[in-house]
Amino acid sequence: MSRAQQTVTIRNKLGLHARAATKLAKLAHQFDAKVKVLNDGKEYDASSVMCLLLLAGSQGKQFDIVAEGTDAEQAVAAIAALVEARFDEEC
């Protein structure tokens, strides 16, 4: 089983709000991998909007994306790209 991990920083002004969390969760569902977000010693299911909102990810917050499964590397790369692109928001 493949495993991948990458640290990302939230760059958009509103942080990981409901719309951004929904985009991340939908993206996590597209891969054959179990995707998690790790922060401050806690683990969150990246395919759950509610879990992502519990992360309380404000602008500048760093967290790790970890995936295990066939598509682990692709899942981490795609989610990291989404976060880097500020969840496709203006700012």
Residues with a catalytic annotation lie at 17
Angle at which helices 18-29 and 72-84 cross, to 10°: 160
62-68 and 3-9 strand pairing: antiparallel
Nearest to 24 by CA among 90, 85, 89, 83: 83
